């Protein structure tokens, strides 16, 4: 898929969340790989998923926002981590998911990333060069927090990328809404890249062993949104490659037309105790 994108002229490619293994809390440890730091040459990494993407980025001379993989940190903790590779295969950015996906929608979906993962503690932006300029990175549940998007935009990000894997409950309700909301409130392009949907196989195939990890059905529907909030492209639930030109000057146009970032009122954005 990355080669196909490159052949179509892509300069920056975005992959989905946890693309190298099952999206299941119990599986993260088994599939985790050490992840190099920013500036390191990842083409010679001993971590197979890292090395594969770094080499691809270098070979095709493009930027790869490598979705995310489970990271085995130097502190022995596990993180949900997005590595960005520059056109030489060096690590241009490393984002550890800041907001862990711990939810309980009664009778529908319960998920607790914090059972096995630790949260990252920093905002992540990188310079993608060329017309893209500064790009901000969040992972999936991070998109629910406008503060993160607004801070990345305040740093100068004009494109926000969210590798994500929403599900069949929150996907139809919120995936597109949140991507469009972050685009409108940060006045930046937003890309949401999801794994394709695969239906759950039988829990125990006839004569076979029980499945090791619970199946997570991803919503799919990767999406690209303009700073005006228009959906420029979206996939269905199956495998897809969205290839499009981003007219980056739209960011300045929208920010000049509706200068919300200059009209903020931080003086009234603090909640004070009643009567205070």
d(CA 67, CA 48): 15
> Is residue 166 within the footprint of ligand AKG (CB under 6 A)?
yes
Active-site residue, 51 included: no
Whichever of 90 and 137 has its CB closer to ligand AKG, that residue is: 137
> Is residue 152 within the footprint of ligand AKG (CB under 6 A)?
no
Active-site residue, 140 included: yes
Q: What's the N-to-C CA distance of the chain in angstroms?
A: 57
Whichever of 111 and 132 has its CB closer to ligand AKG, that residue is: 111
Active-site residue, 252 included: no
64 Cβ neighbours under 8 A, 6+ residues apart: 2, 12, 13, 15, 53, 56, 57, 84, 85
Whichever of 55 and 174 has its CB closer to ligand AKG, that residue is: 174
> Is residue 144 within the footprint of ligand AKG (CB under 6 A)?
yes
d(CA 66, CA 50): 8
Q: Decide if 227 contacts 233 (C-beta within 8 A).
A: no
Edge-first strand order for the sheet with 159-163 is 125-127, 134-137, 159-163, 189-193, 223-225, 231-234
What is the closest distance, in whole angstroms, from the C-beta atom of residue 20 to ligand AKG in the complex? 15
Whichever of 11 and 99 has its CB closer to ligand AKG, that residue is: 99
What is the closest distance, in whole angstroms, from the C-beta atom of residue 75 to ligand AKG in the complex? 22
> Is residue 141 within the footprint of ligand AKG (CB under 6 A)?
yes
Which sequence positions are flagged as catalytic?
17, 97, 140
Would you tell me which residues interact with ligand AKG (CB under 6 A)?
Answer: 17, 101, 140-141, 144, 165-167, 170, 174
């Amino acid at each position: 898929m990355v080669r196909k994108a490159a052949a179509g002229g892509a300069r920056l490619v975005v992959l989905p969340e946890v693309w190298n293994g099952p999206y299941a809390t119990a599986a993260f440890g088994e599939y985790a790989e050490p992840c190099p730091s920013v500036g390191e040459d990842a083409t010679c990494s001993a971590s197979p998923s890292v090395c594969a993407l770094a080499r691809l980025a270098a070979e095709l001379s493009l930027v790869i926002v490598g979705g995310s993989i489970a990271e085995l940190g130097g502190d022995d903790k596990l993180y949900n981590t997005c590595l960005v590779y520059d056109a030489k295969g060096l690590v241009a950015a490393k984002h550890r998911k800041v907001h862990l996906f711990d939810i309980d929608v009664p009778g529908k979906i319960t998920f607790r990333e914090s059972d096995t993962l630790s949260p990252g503690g920093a905002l992540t932006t990188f310079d993608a060069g060329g017309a893209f300029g500064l790009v901000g990175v969040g992972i999936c549940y991070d998109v629910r927090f406008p503060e993160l998007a607004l801070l990345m935009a305040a740093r100068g990000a004009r494109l926000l990328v969210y590798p994500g894997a929403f599900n069949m409950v929150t996907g139809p309700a919120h995936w597109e809404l949140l991507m469009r909301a972050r685009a409108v409130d940060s006045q930046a392009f937003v890309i949401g890249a999801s794994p394709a949907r695969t239906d759950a196989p039988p829990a125990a195939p006839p004569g076979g062993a029980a499945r090791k990890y619970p199946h997570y059905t991803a919503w799919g529907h990767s999406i690209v949104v303009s700073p005006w909030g228009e959906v420029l492209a979206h996939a269905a639930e199956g495998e897809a490659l969205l290839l499009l030109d981003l007219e980056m000057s739209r960011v300045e146009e929208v920010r000049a037309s509706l200068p919300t970032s200059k009209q903020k009122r931080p003086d009234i954005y603090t909640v004070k105790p009643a009567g205070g």
